[in-house]
Structure 1
Amino acid sequence: MKIVLWVIAALLAAAFLFSGLFKLALSREKYIAAQDWAAGSPRWAPDVIGALEVLGAIGVVLPAVVNIAPVLVPLAAAGLALVMIGAVAMHLRRGEYSALAPSGVLLILAAIVTWGRFGPYSF
């Protein structure tokens, strides 16, 4: 199970690193063209969410790899789960049901890592 948690954490890190850097790299206008939810959000929202995703991606893997404060891994996974709860709620509110699958899968994976690293498979 520890290997499964490592694989899930690596997948989470890759997905959130890509998503976060995408939000941070594009200008607001280009990001709105790609993701229309940002048009109705505060100006700062994509940047803050992108920064949280990048930090979560780093936090879900790096502390365990370098064996410095590995308790941060489940905390980062819990933070990513909270971000995805917000994403699921937003997609439901906007009626974007096709976007629920990726958000839901990432939410479930983050919850699994949180459970596993806080619980029976902690470092």
Structure 2
Amino acid sequence: MTSLVRSTDHRYLSAGLWLAQAAVALVFAMSGLIKLFMPMAELTAMMTWPGDYPAPSVRTIGVVDLLGAVGVLLPSLTRIRPQLAVVAAGCCALLQILAIGFHASRGEFSVLPLNLVLLPLCVLVLWGRGKRLPITHRAAGAA
């Protein structure tokens, strides 16, 4: 009985973690692609802060967002160095904390709900894949 409950709990936790990883990756990827490829005039019309900073800085943040998206999901999917997903989740959580401070200091409170949703998702992935239900490393000979 206990092993059945534990097995079911792991299944739900695993599904929840995969969902959280996919959600974090999707939001970070979309954000990164927008910051990288949208013309600065359109980006400034959509979000006010890019107009106050040089374009290379905004584009660099886009690259960081894309790296976060790839890092949170790809190592777990491939099971190659899956601990990198934990590191990426921690970095994404830190990025959200910094973004909350940045936007709050500028009075941009309308964007904070997204950051306040992403932060616990990143922490969930950090805890779940780091401590509770880590992904096992793929064996060298496995295909």
Same fold (TM over 0.5): yes
Percent pairwise identity: 37
How many residue pairs align between the two structures? Answer: 123
Shift in Å, 1:16: 0.8
TM-score relative to the length of structure 2: 0.80
Whether 1:50 aligns to 2:59 is: no
Indicate which of 64, 69, 74 corresponds to 1:62: 74
Which runs of no fewer than 5 residues in structure 2 stay unpaired? 1-12, 136-143
Instruction: Look up the match of 1:93.
Output: 105
Q: Distance in 1 between matches of 2:60 and 2:24?
A: 18
Matched, 1:37 2:37: no
Q: Displacement, 1:50?
A: 0.7
CA distance in 2 between counterparts of 1:41 and 1:83 reads 18
Q: TM-score, normalised on structure 1?
A: 0.92
Equivalents in 1 of 2:81, 2:22: separation in Å?
18
Distance 1:67 1:120 in 2: 17
- For 2:125, the equivalent position in structure 1 comes to 113
Residue type at the aligned position of 1:43: A
- The CA RMSD over aligned residues, in Å, is 1.2
Unaligned runs of 5+ in 1: none
Deviation per CA, 1:65-94: give whole Å up to 9, x if none: 111100011111111112111210111101
Q: Which runs of 4+ in 1 moved over 6 A?
A: none
The SS at the match of 2:97 is helix
Instruction: Quote the offset at 1:29 in angstroms.
Output: 2.5
